[in-house]
Amino acid sequence: MTDTTIQNLQSRDPFADDNEGGGSQDGHIHIRIQQRNGRKTLTTVQGIRPDYDLKKIVKACKKEFACNGTVVEHPEYGEVIQLQGDQRQHISQFLKKVGLAREDQLKVHGF
């Protein structure tokens, strides 16, 4: 009994884990696709928690999917990964594999 009361007394910042996914409040990682000219596409990954080093993620992704990619800073959505080509399946598998996100945290958009 005493234990629980003490635990309750511990001041815990209710917003401590609220900053996940800079911008996307629900903690989802959104994977989107955009069409470019011709049959070229671009995959964007938005909402990876900012406490991860996105540059390193991109570096690993680039190597794994054999595509180019970059991290762009967006005032509203935070850091967003861009990858060339349709990497939606790849990136979702990758994020699951490395344990960055669970299945239910990923939201794959697009056609």
Partner 1 sequence: MDDGPMFDLTKKKKKKKGTFTLDGEMEVQKESSKSPADPAEPEEVSFEQNTEEISLDEDFSNLAKKKKKKKKPFSLTEMEESLPSGEPANDSTTTKPDSDPEPPAPEGVDPMEEGFDLGSLPMKKKKRKKVILIEPGEEEDVTDGGQGVGAVEGTTWQQDSGVEYTYDELLNRVFDIMRERNPEMVAGEKRKFIMKPPQVLRVGTKKTSFSNFADICKMLHRQPKHLLAFLLAELGTSGSIDGNNQLIIKGRFQQKQIENVLRSYIKEYVTCHTCRSPDTILQKDTRLYFLQCETCGSRCSVASIKSGFQAVTGKRAAIRARTK
Place of tokens 């884990």: 17
The least distance separating partner 1 from the CB of residue 76, rounded to whole angstroms, comes to 8
- In this chain, which stretch among 5-13, 34-42, 48-56, 57-65 interacts with partner 1, using CB under 8 A? 34-42
Q: Is 82 in the site for partner 1 (CB under 8 A)?
A: yes
Helices and strands (H and E) in the chain: how many: 3, 5
72, 93, 98, 102: residue in contact with partner 1 (rule CB under 8 A) = 72
Is the backbone of residue 21 left (phi > 0), alpha (psi -120 to 50) or beta? left
- Contact call for residues 29 and 95 (beta carbons, < 8 A): yes
Residue indicated by tokens 């928690």:
49
Q: How far is the CB of 2 from partner 1 (least distance, A)?
A: 40
Binding residues for partner 1 (CB under 8 A):
24, 26, 30, 32-37, 39, 42, 44, 46, 72, 74, 77, 80, 82, 109-111
